[in-house]
Structure 1
């Protein structure tokens, strides 16, 4: 029996996924909200990890490389609400083995999990093509946004959704002042005087 560890801080999502993945009887699912995750993986030794990018007090993009460093043979599937256009390529580079959006039908998600357990990789086609060709996306918006680090992109995306500095800081375990510093750094890197043009580029990437 294959074991799956689901890392998500939404109990309803955890319950629905556990029921879906265990219905055939050959998968065993345990859950985690992200706290003491490395210790839990050492203890449970799962075959597959489903990781949300948005965890309370943690950034999944920061967590992913550390997980692959500690557990290089562990298959990791990113399961998130974040748009693939912005995050799929970054998660590949950080060591993930697959990327799916939470809008995906649960039965389809089960199929993806089984593919990863068999040693396959599952990413949106565009992300795989970009990596295969080893080149940045042709759109000028993607080229501009690629200047940002994973953490800067996470902060920018949260700001676009209307979150305050305090809300973002709390979710990432950072201070308000640090978030303000990120905002200044983001504008400087992209050569803009306000965040509005970058919000527009983010929306274009999501809608494309």
Structure 2
């Protein structure tokens, strides 16, 4: 397996824990996403334990690149849970599960072995947080369900931080028409301003880069 974390002490700690199990071989370490992609090509590990927040190429980008390989290894996220949505995106990109860094050593070994065997692994606290985020996103989507296609396009523009003029040009509408759409959206979605509406668009996954 391959360990990926920008903190070398974390990698050393993980190596000590995991190498103590005779059924687990740590083939190497990488300290950012770019190194991780190169190491997968070079070492061909059966599993990658990947941190998300790293300088340079982050873990999410690395997961997307590795998951696109013809025969990718199992990818498991390792996180401190600073950004739940980021973890959701990692799972959508191809990760087989995620663990928190506070996982007990004996549990970590069991979860890694399960992941190598093809299972989806979730730390208990991670599973609870994931369910909470998924439920929230579903509530948000229910809230925008009755929007027309054009209203959803305008809302997505707000989520991307576009001005009325930019939205108008993209959708081939007049600026006045877009202004009218925005006003109706604020009423329909019970939002006080376009910033709140834009945040709603991000939470619903309408934007090009979900928040």
TM band (smaller chain):
0.5 to 0.7
Q: Which residue of 2 aligns with 1:112?
A: 111
Using the alignment, how far apart are the partners of 1:103 and 1:68 within structure 2? Answer: 26
Using the alignment, how far apart are the partners of 1:33 and 1:129 within structure 2? Answer: 31
17, 22, 26: which one pairs with 1:25?
22
Structure 1 residue 89 displacement after superposition? 2.4
Q: Which has the higher contact order (CA 8 A, sep 6+)?
A: 1
Q: Which runs of 5+ in 2 are unaligned?
A: 145-158, 164-192, 204-211
Q: Which residue of 2 aligns with 1:100?
A: 99
**2:10 aligned with 1:9:** no
Using the alignment, how far apart are the partners of 1:47 and 1:33 within structure 2? Answer: 18
Q: Which residue of 2 aligns with 1:86?
A: 85
Q: Which runs of 5+ in 1 are unaligned?
A: 145-183, 202-208
Structure 1 residue 10 displacement after superposition? 0.7
Counterpart mapping for 1:158-197 below 5 A? 185=160, 191-192=194-195
Structure 1 residue 128 displacement after superposition? 6.8
Aligned residue pairs, count: 153
TM-score by length of structure 2 reads: 0.59
Structure 1 residue 101 displacement after superposition? 1.6
Structure 1 residue 187 displacement after superposition? 8.8
Report if aligned partners of 2:36, 2:62 keep a CA contact under 8 Å in 1: no
Using the alignment, how far apart are the partners of 1:61 and 1:50 within structure 2? Answer: 12
Structure 1 residue 11 displacement after superposition? 1.3
Describe the SS at the equivalent of 1:54. coil
Describe the SS at the equivalent of 2:68. helix
Report if aligned partners of 1:83, 1:101 keep a CA contact under 8 Å in 2: no
TM-score by length of structure 1 reads: 0.60
Using the alignment, how far apart are the partners of 2:45 and 2:38 within structure 1? Answer: 12
In structure 2, relative to structure 1, the CA distance for the partners of 1:85 and 1:55 (3 Å cut) is: closer
Report if aligned partners of 2:79, 2:100 keep a CA contact under 8 Å in 1: yes
Structure 1 residue 8 displacement after superposition? 0.6
Residue by residue over 1:68-105, the C-alpha shift from the partner in whole angstroms, topping out at 9 and shown as x without a partner, is 00254410000012347433322221110011121222
Describe the SS at the equivalent of 2:22. coil
Counterpart mapping for 1:37-48 below 5 A? 37-48=36-47
In structure 2, relative to structure 1, the CA distance for the partners of 1:44 and 1:101 (3 Å cut) is: same
Q: CA RMSD in A?
A: 3.8
